[in-house]
Amino acid sequence: MRNVLIIFVSIILIACGAKKIVIPEWVTGKPIDPTGTFVYGLGMSYVNPNSSYQQAARSNALADLAQELESQIFDETRLLQKEDATGMQSAFSSETLITSQVKLEDYQIVASYADEYRYYVLYKLDLIDYLKNKANNDLLAISWINEKIAAASDGSKSALERMIAIGDAVHKAMDRNFLIDPTFAVDIKTKLVRALRAVEGDLQGNYLIPESLFYLGMPQQFATVFKVSDSSVMTGLNMKSSSGNFTLEQENGIVICQHTGKQNVVKLNLSIDFKNLLPYLDRRSVLWLQSMSSWNKSSMLYFQNTTVQIKAENDVKEVIGGAIAKSFTMDENAPLTLVFNGGIRVVDMGNKRSKCMIQGQFILQHTLTEQIIWRSQNVENSAVSANIDSAVRAAKSEFSDNIAFFILPQLERNLGY
């Protein structure tokens, strides 16, 4: 009896060891429902314990399901749309859609399978129920979007409230894929753009620029205010300039100049930054609004070259003025003074040779208060020649080059360029 039991157990073990793992049919071939009631999505990912391979397989399955679903219900038209001075104009061209334009709902997982190297997931969706539910949800979403567009068209509301309503409508349209679904894209885009243009058309603004002179390198003398018809949008206004560094104080509309730049003509431009205006809004909706917005207010600013008066010995005063002329204008009543504490002298070196030396220090200061803005190190330039006039000319030329290449950049760095 004992021998019989051993033989029986051995047979069972051999049978179990010979049993093969059955691979589901759907792994090698995605199911196809001949009735068209169900559509399937199959996803695969390589097994890697260091990554979310199961989630990757599910994402791939959903992408496959979306493409399969799309091929079932879409083979229609693609929107071609542009805007001109008279408003929105639309046209159609017949084209099979390639990118996914459907929003997946009510799908379910059917099965999953894994071998040593791969993980598979199969999703299923009831096409009839999906289309029915999608139609109902689309109607509800369109009704909600129309309510938001109506709120955005209400001129009694603030510009910010109207922009929030438009942002909500865009977000819902993005969520339902209405802006790329040819069934809705023309109508929804047109309504959204018209609502945005209406708000932007009511939003007026202008720069209050005083009739005074502005100087390069002196930002503290700059004064300009931007007045907008509805201050509720001030947090969303973004200022850019063609040169220098200008910012807008959102509390009072004062335009602050940190740096003037070096251009005599500067263009200021204000536009709406929807990321700041509607910080809660998702990135896709913000980018869409930004691309559709046409609101901007610009103004040209004109800066004079910075004026300085020069205090130096007459022999070098003209040299200094010529060396800084490309950035500064000389004026005896200028608010800034460039002082050169030093001078020029000629030394007889014998053998009929003369040495001309220019030594000193530059100081830039406010004319009225004599407050020092910048002080240079000692400057020394010299030239030797058998002819005194030649030595003086050579020393002045070297002194001028020294100013142009070394002193002038330091002057500019210590002013508000």
Residue 394: its pLDDT value, please? Answer: 94
CA distances from 153 to 83, 149, 166 (A): 20, 6, 9
Residue found by looking up tokens 């993005």 in the block: 174
CA distance 276 to 287: 12
The residue whose two tokens read 């229609």 is 76
Give Cα separations from 65 to 29, 30, 61, 78, 123 (angstroms).
14, 11, 6, 21, 7
Run of H or E including 269: strand 265-272
Query: Does residue 249 contact residue 234 with C-beta atoms inside 8 Å?
Result: no
Residue 393 φ/ψ, nearest 5 degrees:
-60, -40
Q: How many helices (H) and strands (E) does the chain have?
A: 11, 19
Alpha carbons 337 and 111: distance in angstroms, whole number: 85
Domain boundaries, the chain: 25-199, 203-304, 307-413
- How do 296-304 and 214-215 pair as beta strands? parallel
Nearby residues of 356 by Cβ (< 8 Å), 6 or more positions away: 344, 345, 346, 347, 382, 383, 384, 385, 388, 391, 392, 394, 395
pLDDT at 276: 96
CA distance 120 to 60: 10
Q: Which CATH class is domain 203-304?
A: mainly beta
Distance CA 65, CA 125 (A): 8
DSSP 367: T
Q: Please report the pLDDT score of residue 62 as a whole number.
A: 87
Query: Which 3 state secondary structure label does DSSP give 165?
Result: helix
Kindly report the CATH class assigned to 307-413.
Answer: alpha beta
Specify the pLDDT at position 139. 94
| 332, two tokens | 């005896």
The per-residue pLDDT for 23 is 87
CATH number of 25-199: 3.10.28.20
- Taking the C-alpha atoms of residue 58 and residue 223, their distance in angstroms, rounded to an integer, is 60
Rounded-to-integer distance, Cα 286 and Cα 273, Å? 9
In this structure, the number of other CB atoms found within 10 A of the CB of residue 6 comes to 10
Based on its alpha-carbon atoms, the radius of gyration of the chain, rounded to whole angstroms, reads 39
pLDDT at residue 89 in the model: 38
Q: What is the largest CA-CA distance in the chain?
A: 138
Q: What letter does residue 219 receive in the DSSP assignment?
A: G
What are the structure tokens assigned to 171, written together?
Answer: 């977000």
CA torsion angle 149 153 157 161 (round to 10): 40
- Taking the chain (417 residues) in runs of 10, the rounded mean pLDDT of each run is 54 54 84 87 89 90 84 47 40 35 77 91 89 90 97 96 98 93 92 97 95 88 93 96 94 93 94 97 97 96 92 92 90 92 91 92 93 94 92 94 93 87
What's residue 88's pLDDT? 39
What b/e sequence results for 29-59 when a residue is b if at least 16 CB atoms lie within 10 Å of its CB, and e otherwise? ebeeeeeeebbbbbbbbeeeeeeebeebbbe
Q: Which residues is 348 bridged to in the sheet? A: 354
